[in-house]
Copies of this chain bind each other. A is one copy, B any other.
Amino acid sequence: MSRVDGRDNNELRKIEIIPHYITHPEGSVLITVGETKVICTATVEDRVPPFMRGQGKGWITAEYSMLPRATEKRTMRESTKGKVSGRTMEIQRLIGRALRSVVDLEKLGEKTIWIDCDVIQADGGTRTASITGAFVAMVLAFQKLVEAKKIKALPIIDYLAATSVGIDAQVGPILDLNYIEDSKAQVDMNVVMTGSLDFVELQGTGEEATFSRKQLNELLDLAEEGMLQLVECQKQALGTIAENIGISKEEVNRL
C-alpha cells in the first residue's frame, strides 16, 4: 500500500523558499512545503529581555500563528479568544530553542532576534516548515547586520532544519507527513537537526499507541535523509551568503 499522495516513504514534498518575501523585516522568506505555506520573518531589536541583560549575549525568540482560514475549517483567532493556546506556546518555544542551538549568542551580542512564523496555508508540518524557513530568514537578518558592520561575521555554527517522520499502520515508517497522514499516524515525531546531522530536538509521540526502539531507529534514518535535502534547499535560497555558513563554533569564536 502506498501514501495518499503517491510519494515514496522516504520522499519529501516539494519545497520552495522565496527569500526577501516581505519588504519591512530585516529577514523574511515564504516557505512552501507541499500545500503548507509559512511567512517567516526575522526582526532585529537592539536589546535583550530583562533576564538576559548584562551578559553580553544575544537572544532569539519566536512567535507562531495561523491565519484563521489557513486550515480546512476556520479556526478562531487567538487574539479574539484573548489567549494563546497551549499548542501555539509549545511550537513557539520549540522554534526559539531550536534556532538558539545553532547561533553563537555571544558573537551576536546584546540583541534580540524576533522570529515570526505565520502560517497562511496549512497541510501538516507547519512547525517544521517554520523552523526550516525561519533559519533562512534569520541568516538574512544576520547578513544585514554584517553588511551594516554591526557584527563581524554570521554568528551561525551550523545549518538547522526540521521535518517530521511517523508510522502509518498500513504504509509503515514515512517521511514528511501531510495533514491526512499526520491525522492517522500512530506515531508522530518531529526532528530538528543540524547540517551535520546532530540532533537539536527530538519529539516523538505515540497518541494512543507506543513504539519500539527498533521503530525509533527506522524513523531516525528517514529523518536524516530528509534533512540533507532540506539543507540543500536552504543553501539555494541563501545563494552566495551560504558560503559563510557551516564553519565550526571554534572558528566563529576566533573571528
Q: Contacts of A197 on B, CB cut-off 8 Å?
A: 213
A208 partner, pick from B23, B70, B83, B100, beta carbons under 8 A: B100
Chain A interface size band reads 35 or more
Q: Contacts of A100 on B, CB cut-off 8 Å?
A: 207-208
Cβ contacts A204-216/B at 8 Å (1 or 0 each): 1111111111001
Give the number of copies in the complex. 6
> Which one, A4-12, A88-96, A127-135, A237-245, is touching chain B?
A88-96
Given contacts A25-B69, A199-B213, 12 further A-B contacts (CB under 8 A): A22-B121, A24-B70, A67-B116, A68-B114, A69-B116, A74-B116, A79-B84, A86-B89, A86-B90, A100-B208, A199-B212, A202-B216
- A residues near B (Cβ < 8 Å) are 22-25, 28, 35, 39, 41, 43, 45, 63, 65, 67-72, 74, 77-90, 92-93, 97, 100-102, 105, 114, 116, 118, 120-121, 158, 189, 194, 196-213, 216, 220
